[in-house]
Amino acid sequence: MLLGFVLSATIATTGVEAFVSLSAPQSSFLRTSKFSGSAIEAGPIFAQNGGLNLRNAGRNRPSNLNTFMSAPVKGGLSLEYLTADSTKIAYDFIPGNKPTVVYLPSFNQTRFGSKASALQTWCKRNKQGYFAADYYGCGGSGGQYQDGTISRWTRDTVALIENVVKGPVLLVGSGVGGWVMMHVALQRPKLVKGLVGIAPTPDFTKDVVLPELDADTKRKIKETGMAEILWGGNTYTISQKLIDDASDQLVLQGGSKSIGITCPVRLIQGLGDKEIPPNRALKICDVVASEDVVITYVKYGDHMLDEEEDFERMTADVADLCSKIYEFDLSSPTSG
């Protein structure tokens, strides 16, 4: 077994350079870059409405959400934003240096997961702005879970960025959050300065989940509006509205550079992921127009990517992109 060496190899994808670290089994990872030669060092929660039992997404959930603000301008924890249709969205906002790091949770999870906690801790230590919200129908937010969709979660995220964060953002999307972040970047390219995807799952409904569902499960989803499914060894709740909406939100079905995302992109993907094909990261790399795309493959990483080493990789990518972005206050005579 080789130890302590970094090998350079070429993957069968045009313009992609691969770097493999074999220093230790638990931290082994392969990193690819869209442009050649650009390596970088390497308890259940219930929705308040509808009673959906979500998978445990973290600890230390606040006991109540009692700060109601329709147009908040200050930061804090466990705040609420009122959407255009009078639905409350629960969020945490810690103002700090720009860009504000916006965390977008995984499917069936809330903003209190281990990745969110690690990211919030890093932002506090580095005085970086931090923002995270529960999706419509999830956790502390209002709405029925079966009405939650990719387009709805995207629309709410855009509204929160414009009306609460109010400035440039770096989006960190885990799982389905990686799908949402791509749409937010397309809708607000001037505000979104970079993307970090953690096992992102764009288009998972079309080519990963639906083909594996049996006839009985598909019928139950149609008749009742939603059903529990087994996906990659884990149980998830999926709705008919999400499936229907997702068909209009697909981003990976076009050719090379078919998606007009031009900001820097960092992707972290486990090679042991049983929920999403590891080559999905390469597909994202191909379809986005950005030339600054770097992929980190974690040799033994699963879909959750919730080991300490995974958090370190995530925050390293966030630090990398934050260092590329500068905001000057042009109203100050001493700026710039």
Which CATH number does the domain housing residue 309 bear? Answer: 3.40.50.1820
Which residue range is the domain that position 82 belongs to?
69-203+254-325
**Tens of pLDDT along 54-65?**
333 333 333 333
43 vs 76, residue with greater confidence: 76
143 conformational bin, left if phi > 0, alpha if psi -120 to 50, beta if neither: left
Cα–Cα distance measured from residue 301 to residue 43, given in angstroms and rounded to the nearest whole number: 23
289 located within any domain: yes
Domain count, the chain: 1
* Predicted pLDDT of residue 293: 98
Q: Please tell me what DSSP assigns to residue 6.
A: E
185 vs 7, residue with greater confidence: 185
292 located within any domain: yes
| Torsion angles phi and psi, residue 248, rounded to 5 | -100, 0
**Tens of pLDDT along 142-160?**
999 899 999 999 999 999 9
310 located within any domain: yes
298 located within any domain: yes
Task: Give yes or no for a contact between 169 and 163, defined as CB atoms under 8 angstroms apart.
Answer: no
| Torsion angles phi and psi, residue 197, rounded to 5 | -105, 130
* Predicted pLDDT of residue 192: 98
Q: How far is CA 163 from CA 72, 155, 167, 217, 257, in A?
A: 8, 12, 9, 40, 31
Q: Which residues of 14-32 are buried (b: 16+ CB within 10 A; e: fewer)?
A: eebbbbbbbeeeebbbbbb
* Predicted pLDDT of residue 32: 58
Cα–Cα distance measured from residue 198 to residue 304, given in angstroms and rounded to the nearest whole number: 8
The pLDDT confidence band at residue 102, using thresholds 50, 70 and 90, is very high
pTM beyond cutoff 0.85:
no
208 located within any domain: no
Percent of the chain with pLDDT over 70: 75
4 located within any domain: no
23 located within any domain: no
Rounded to an integer, the average pLDDT of 189-213 is 95
- Would you state the structure tokens that stand for residue 9, as one six-digit string? 């190899």
Beta strands in the chain (DSSP E): 6-10, 17-21, 29-33, 45-46, 53-54, 67-68, 76-82, 88-94, 97-104, 128-133, 169-174, 192-198, 226-231, 234-239, 265-270, 293-298
Is 280 exposed, middle or buried (CB count within 10 Å of its CB: 0-12, 13-18, 19+)?
buried
Pairing of the two strands 17-21 and 29-33: antiparallel
The sign one gets for the Cα dihedral 32, 41, 273, 51 is: negative
Is 308 exposed, middle or buried (CB count within 10 Å of its CB: 0-12, 13-18, 19+)?
exposed
Task: Give yes or no for a contact between 123 and 97, defined as CB atoms under 8 angstroms apart.
Answer: no
129 located within any domain: yes
Amino acid at 200: P
Q: Which residues pair with 17 in a beta bridge?
A: 10, 33
Amino acid at 263: C
